[in-house]
Amino acid sequence: MGDNFIYISSRQVRWLIILSFVIALVLDSINLIGASYQFLPPFTLLVLLYWSGHFLDYTYISTAFVIGLLADTLYQTTLGMHALIYVTLTFTMLRHRLHFRGYSVIQQALNIIVFMFIFQVLHLLILSPTLDDNEMIQFWSMPVVSAFLWLIFAKLLNLLTQQNAIEN
């Protein structure tokens, strides 16, 4: 079972949520440096899935839309494409978040592989990036890398959330 069954309101950790999205946007800008970073997942999506999966008092659909628009401007893609993908994945997480909350971090990481694979398929269908053979391997290895990063993100955000809730 997950260790995050302590009821914490999202209002108690509002600044932590905002700060985590800002840091994730900065980390997403790393993907702009070069095409050799195709294996890195969208960190904003990982953070969005974490917050939408762990708090029951807020849906994060509007947040997914805004973060998706920010991702569109960051990656200079057609406005609304990332927003559509983020809203779709957030809605899917909201449908399964009660089960997701109860999973251990390793089981959550396995679910994140599925979410990121869906992201990659939607990204390929909607945005149709041009990839050569070398980039194709990195492109499809991103869900596995995101599972390893989820283990770090989830533990860190669980710790910070519980610490911040105790202080408030």
Average pLDDT value for the chain: 88
Q: How many domains in the chain?
A: 1
pTM: 0.89
Cβ neighbours for 72, distance < 8 A, ≥ 6 positions apart: 78, 79, 80, 81, 82, 83
Tens of pLDDT, residue by residue over 78-100, are 999 999 999 999 999 999 999 99
Q: What is d(CA 74, CA 50) in angstroms, rounded to the nearest whole number?
A: 21
Nearest to 68 by CA among 54, 58, 82: 82
Domain assignment of residue 36, yes or no: no
For 47, the domain range is 14-30+41-167
Across 57-78, average pLDDT: 92
Instruction: Please say whether the beta carbons of 50 and 63 come within 8 A.
Output: no
High-pLDDT (> 90) share of the chain, %: 60
Domain assignment of residue 1, yes or no: no
Domain assignment of residue 3, yes or no: no
Residue 134 is predicted with a pLDDT of 77
Tens of pLDDT, residue by residue over 126-153, are 987 777 787 788 889 999 999 999 999 9
What does the block give as tokens for 129? 């990036």
